[in-house]
A and B are shown apart, each in its own frame.
Chain A
C-alpha cells in the first residue's frame, strides 16, 4: 500500500467538558511511514501519551482524522467495527508500565498475544522463546512477572508487542527502566523490526542518549507539534 502507515490529520483530544475541559491535543498532524522510527518528545503533560493512545485506538479522538495502513480508522466516529482485532493484528503497544499479566510466566505473556490471534500454542511459544532470547531474557522465560526485574519485565513486554509482527509499533518510554546499554539494544531491535517488517514505529522518550537512534524527532508542547527536525546526527 502507498502512503504512510500512520497518518494523523488535525487530530484533537479534549478531556471533559465545559469549565474543566482539558485540551490535551490540538490539531496534530503527523505521518510515520513504513520502516520509519520516529521519536516523540516534550515536557510532561504535553500530550505524548494521549497521542499514542489515540493512534492505538485506546482513546477516542475529539476531532480530526486518523488512518492506519491507509485505512481510515476515525473520522467523526470509529470507522472500524472491531477495534480490538485491529489492535491485535496491526498494532504493537509497549506501555509505560509493563502491564504483564501477573498470572502468566514471561513466555506465556508473550505467546498469549499470538494465541489470541489464532496461532497454536506450540508455534506461539517457539516464536515467543526466540524473541525473548533475542532480547536477552530467554533465561527468564518461565519466571512469573513478579520475579522479574524492571528491565526484564520491560523487555518481556517489548517481546509481547513485537510477537504478532505488527505494522505499527507504539512505545511509551520503553527504555525508561533500562540502563543505556540495554536501551540501545532495545532501540536497535526496534530499528531492525522497522527495516525487516517495514513497520512504522513511534516512540515516546525523554532519553537524550538514544535520540540518535531515531530517523526524526517530533516535539510536542501543550498539545501541539512544536517542531519537526530531521535526524540530528
Chain B
C-alpha cells in the first residue's frame, strides 16, 4: 500500500484545492516564461518573415527598427546591382492608429513592392497583394477579417489576405500595403507645413522616400562582404540580418526582456518558498502519524518516501493544472505566449527540482520526530 497516496486520498478535497492554488501560481510563472519567449519571438517575427540577408539603411543609423532611417527609394536599384545581390526591395515602416470595424487599433504599416522582397512570406487566408491599390494584407492579431475595411488617414483599405503571428517588436500587428500607398499615407499624415514644403520643391520624386532596402543574396555570397560594398556609398549604412536580429533582441526589446526575465525568476523563487511551506505544513500535519510509523518500526526510507512522494505528487498535479490553465488561456493574452514542448519540459524539471529542494527541510523535520510523540492524548 502506498502511504503517500492513501493519505492524499484521505484528505482529497484539501489536496485538490492546494494543487489548484499552486497550479494558478505556477500558471503565472509559466505564462511569464511564455511571455518572455514571446517578446523575443515577436521582436524577430517581422525580420524573419521578410527573409532579408542584408538591410541597407540611412548612414549613421542602425535602422529601421532600433533607429529612424530615411533613404531615397531609388537606392533600391543601386543595391540590386551590387555583386552578390539576388533581389532587393524598398520598404517603409510606420506605426499608425487606424479605424477598424471593431474600433481604433494600433498597427505597424509596412509598405513594399509586390514581387520584390518585403512582403509576408506566408499568407494564411485570402491572397497576397496584387497590382490594385488600397488593398492590404493584415495580420490576424489586428482582428480584421477578410473583406473588412480599414480607415487609415483619409483612405480606406480592403483586407484581401491575412497572416498569422506577424507582429512588430512592440506586439502591434503588421499591415502590408503597396509601397506607393504607404508613401502617400506618410505624405498625407505629415503636417500641413511639411506637405506644402514638399509640394513647393521638385515634386513627385522627392516623396519617393523609404525607410530601408532589404536584399536577398545569392546562396554563395558573403553578407558581410556585400555590406562592406554597400557602405562605400557615404549616405548608406548596411546591416546583415544577424546584426539586425541581435539589435532587435539586445537593444530594442532588451529592457522588456530583462524585466520579464527578472520577474520570472522572482516568481519561481516565490513558488519555491510556497511549495516548501506547503510541503512542510503537509508533513507537520502528519506528525503523530509519522511518530506512529516510527513506533511500529517503519524505517527512515518509508518516512522519506512518504514526504517526497507527496511533494512530487503535489508539484506534478499542480503543474499539470498550470499547463492546462495557461494553454486554455493563452489566446486571452494581448501578446504572444510562446510556449512549446521545450519550455513546458524545462519548467517541469524546474518544478521537480523545486519540489525536491522544498521537501528537504520537511524530510529533516520528519526524521527528527520522536516515536514517543505518538503517545499521549
Contact = CB atoms under 8 A, between A and B. Distances in A.
A131 to B, nearest CB: 15
Interface in B263-309: 288-289, 292-299, 302
A56 B294 CA distance: 12
Contact of A103 (B9, B299, B371, B376): B9
Interface residues of B, number: 24
Interface string A110-127: 011101110001000000
A113 B296 contact: yes
A103 B289 contact: yes
A214 interface: no
B374 A95 contact: yes
A96 interface: yes
B372 A99 contact: no
Contact of A121 (B1, B7, B9, B377): B1
A101 B292 contact: yes
Interface stretch (A64-72, A84-92, A189-197): A84-92
B3 interface: yes
A58 B3 CA distance: 23
Contact of A96 (B11, B288, B296, B375): B375
A136 interface: no
Given A49-B375, A59-B372, A96-B375, A103 B295 contact: no
Q: Which has the most chain A C-beta neighbours within 10 Å: B293, B371, B372?
A: B371
B165 to A, nearest CB: 50
Given A53-B372, A95-B374, A103-B3, A88 B297 contact: yes
Interface string B5-32: 0110111000000000000000000000
Contact of A116 (B6, B7, B289, B299): B299
Interface string A71-88: 000000000000011111
A116 B297 contact: yes
Contact of A87 (B9, B297, B377): B297
A113 B375 CA distance: 18
A173 interface: no
A80 B330 CA distance: 60
Contacts of B3: 101, 103-104, 112
B296 A112 contact: yes
Q: Which has the most chain B C-beta neighbours within 10 Å: A95, A108, A144?
A: A95
A97 to B, nearest CB: 6
A198 B215 CA distance: 96
Given A58-B372, A58-B375, A103-B9, A116 B295 contact: no
Given A84-B298, A93-B295, A108 B371 contact: no
Q: Which has the most chain A C-beta neighbours within 10 Å: B3, B10, B295, B302?
A: B295
Q: Which has the most chain B C-beta neighbours within 10 Å: A84, A96, A104, A115?
A: A84
A102 B10 contact: yes
A155 interface: no
A95 B297 contact: no
Given A108-B6, A115-B1, A97 B377 contact: yes
Contact of B295 (A99, A117, A144): A99
A145 to B, nearest CB: 10
A160 interface: yes
A49 B375 CA distance: 10
B292 A99 contact: yes
A111 B2 CA distance: 12
A161 to B, nearest CB: 8
Interface in B351-377: 371-372, 374-377
Contact of B296 (A86, A93, A144): A93
Given A101-B293, A103-B9, A58 B1 contact: no
Contacts of B371: 58, 84
B297 A108 contact: no
A111 B375 contact: no
B2 to A, nearest CB: 10
Nearest to A90: B297
A160 B289 CA distance: 15
Contacts of A112: 1, 3, 296
A2 B45 CA distance: 86
Contacts of B377: 97
A190 to B, nearest CB: 18
Contact of B297 (A59, A85, A97, A121): A85
A103 B375 contact: no
Interface in A7-48: none
A87 B296 CA distance: 7
A116 B288 CA distance: 18
Nearest to B293: A101
24 contacts: A56-B295, A58-B295, A58-B372, A84-B294, A84-B297, A84-B299, A84-B371, A85-B297, A87-B295, A87-B296, A88-B296, A88-B297, A93-B296, A97-B375, A97-B377, A99-B288, A99-B292, A101-B3, A104-B6, A112-B3, A113-B297, A115-B1, A116-B297, A116-B298
